[in-house]
Chains A and B, each alone.
Chain A
């Protein structure tokens, strides 16, 4: 069923009894051309673009839990392309462009809101660094604006401009950036992939990868063996565990990142605001809750829950930037398992096994990358050739000395 104003009215008049499920619940077939492990945002978008753009329709997506139960439903919903390094920026800008056309493409309301992302600076040195970043963005054709203090005060009056240690001197704004409804992104891609014939198989955990003569022949799952021509891994925080089944040695550590949401408020925060004194970022959802997060907890973890000390630290950062936040009550906190790579940038590449493909290392930037990650991964799987904007994101870049280290922190994942 194609969604439209007409379909909305027609279903409303018939008591909303005739809506169809958005995707089927198929049993696995014995063999697929491509199997994708992981039914999160990246796995689903890969399947969608494989079927739609690259004509590979005999595809299955295997998901251990229910669809969207992982990081695609556990993030702070920010989409942006304000990166600095030439290996990253074209990729994220490609993603931003796909976001801008996504709702029409999917025929699904992902509630993309280009409200602008502003990153604050607190010193002259940081201002210089943001000018450099803004210029790097312009070099790739992406608009960035430096907003000075007086202008910023008119835009966002409620910030703590005169803090003794971290006075706010201005910010770098990307107007096209913003937020999207994370669950709707997963559902929209799932529905789109399903309509192109992709089998989405939920509650189907991969327990082993079967290989013969050096190539993958299929996967052992909790629903039995499923054969495949090509196997694509998009398992995010569990990439090391799935990779281990094929003896892959990966440059990844799994870390927990927390996010928080407050009680619903009247509209008060119009932008996505990123604190420059720490790593705090905040926006307001359409329901009115303030959604925010900051750094990872600092120790490797597979538990989807965080530590109280980090929660306290996040709140302190928030109140330092916006004193009024101290009056707001937090409703919920949750943790997601991040596949932190050794340079803070993702990996989309082939592996040492011919028909095994890898998509991982999203650190805490995975959500904004969902469309481009899927598109580039599908390009790689279908054509066995790296998409031009993902050329820097190879698995062997560490060995070759071409790490894409946006933070300049070195191979220390808890610092990225």
Chain B
């Protein structure tokens, strides 16, 4: 795993400042969506070998949720954006 993460708010920081929440590629379903949709959202993971988007929480910094794009096999980090910014991009 890369040792440094470039936080869009705090700059280059050691990765120990962050907590990983997990997969960010899937949007949260609507409250009244089917049980199956919710099951897939809560329990099922694509678990890719390669590029993935994840929610990382900058616990020891700005305390913002970020979306980190990285590779699960090589551990290379490609991009880091604020989760709100990421959500706006997905909506568009």
Interface residues of A (CB under 8 A from B): 238, 240-241, 249-254, 297-303, 307-309, 342, 398-399, 411-414
| Alpha-carbon gap, A89 to B27, bound state (A) | 36
Quick one: which of A250, A301, A307, A411 contacts B72, CB cutoff 8 A? A301
Which 8 A-B residue pairings sit nearest by Cβ, starting from the closest?
A240-B47, A398-B43, A251-B43, A302-B49, A302-B73, A249-B44, A299-B20, A342-B43
A251-B45 in contact (CB<8A): yes
Contact A299/B45 with A309-B15, A399-B39 known, Cβ cut-off 8 Å = no
Contact A414/B22 with A299-B1, A398-B43 known, Cβ cut-off 8 Å = yes
User: Tally of A-B residue pairs with Cβ under 8 A?
Assistant: 70
B20-A298 in contact (CB<8A): yes
B47-A254 in contact (CB<8A): yes
B44-A254 in contact (CB<8A): no
Quick one: which of B3, B39, B45, B75 contacts A253, CB cutoff 8 A? B45
A249-B40 in contact (CB<8A): yes
Query: Nearest chain A CB to B42's CB is how many angstroms away?
Result: 5
Query: Nearest chain A CB to B63's CB is how many angstroms away?
Result: 18
Query: Nearest chain B CB to A259's CB is how many angstroms away?
Result: 17
| Alpha-carbon gap, A404 to B86, bound state (A) | 34
B72-A254 in contact (CB<8A): yes
| Alpha-carbon gap, A236 to B89, bound state (A) | 35
| Alpha-carbon gap, A301 to B54, bound state (A) | 12
B22-A413 in contact (CB<8A): yes
Chain B residue at minimum C-beta to C-beta distance from A240? B47
Interface residues of B (CB under 8 A from A): 1, 3, 15-16, 19-23, 35-36, 39-40, 42-49, 52, 54, 72-75
| Alpha-carbon gap, A411 to B43, bound state (A) | 6
Query: Nearest chain A CB to B57's CB is how many angstroms away?
Result: 12
Chain A neighbourhood of B46, CB < 8 A: 240
| Alpha-carbon gap, A302 to B48, bound state (A) | 9
| Alpha-carbon gap, A257 to B88, bound state (A) | 35
| Alpha-carbon gap, A145 to B74, bound state (A) | 45
Chain A neighbourhood of B72, CB < 8 A: 254, 300-303
Given contacts A253-B23, A303-B73, A413-B22, 16 further A-B pairs with CB under 8 A are A240-B47, A250-B44, A251-B44, A252-B45, A252-B47, A297-B1, A298-B20, A300-B54, A301-B1, A303-B72, A308-B3, A342-B43, A398-B39, A399-B39, A411-B43, A412-B21
Query: Nearest chain A CB to B16's CB is how many angstroms away?
Result: 5
Query: Nearest chain A CB to B56's CB is how many angstroms away?
Result: 9
Quick one: which of A249, A399, A412 contacts B22, CB cutoff 8 A? A412
A414-B75 in contact (CB<8A): no
Chain A neighbourhood of B23, CB < 8 A: 253
Chain B residue at minimum C-beta to C-beta distance from A400? B39
| Alpha-carbon gap, A398 to B54, bound state (A) | 22
Chain A neighbourhood of B3, CB < 8 A: 307-309
| Alpha-carbon gap, A48 to B89, bound state (A) | 52
